[in-house]
Amino acid sequence: MYLQGVDSIFDIVCSDNKNGKTYYKDIHKESEIQFSKYNFEVADIEMLITEFNSKYKECKRVLKHDLPLPAYDLCISDSNIFNILDSPKALSKTERANYILQIRDLSKGCAQLYKKQELERIEW
């Protein structure tokens, strides 16, 4: 936005060619509208909490099997679920802090295991 001197993300030029300019809004406006409606109005909070807990447990289990990349995928999924839960302020301050700590725990576990395996690969 700064480089193009625009005040709205929707006014960023993504492409400028012989066919004209393509703006961010041309590509992403409809998805922004739909995902905002989902995040703030439609999301099933109870289902998302259950899914977060299931993915958290699965990530921990996968880490025990020395698989940092699949575990990281689960960690990212949990982070996305947290963002949806956090959007409509569905979590108390204490719950929010707990979710952040759980995601930190997962990401730390993934990073440590990945680094450990990376060092082991170097020794080959």
Shared-domain flag, residues 33 and 94: no
Residues 59, 33 share a domain: no
Q: Answer yes or no: do 35 and 49 share one domain.
A: no
CA distance 69 to 62: 9
Same structural domain, 38 and 57:
no
The string of pLDDT tens digits covering residues 22-46 is: 999 999 999 999 999 999 999 999 9
Work out how many domains the chain is built from and give that number: 2
Q: What is the value of pTM for the model shown?
A: 0.82
Q: Are residues 77 and 37 in the same domain?
A: no
Range of 21's domain?
1-42
> Hey, what long-range contacts does 57-65 have (CB within 8 A, 24 or more apart)?
59/106, 59/109, 59/110, 60/106, 60/109, 63/109, 63/110, 63/113
User: What six digits make up the tokens of 66?
Assistant: 């020395």
For residues 65 and 86, state if they share a domain: yes
6-20 pLDDT, tens digit each: 999 999 999 999 999
Report percent pLDDT > 70 for the chain.
98
pLDDT value of residue 122 = 80
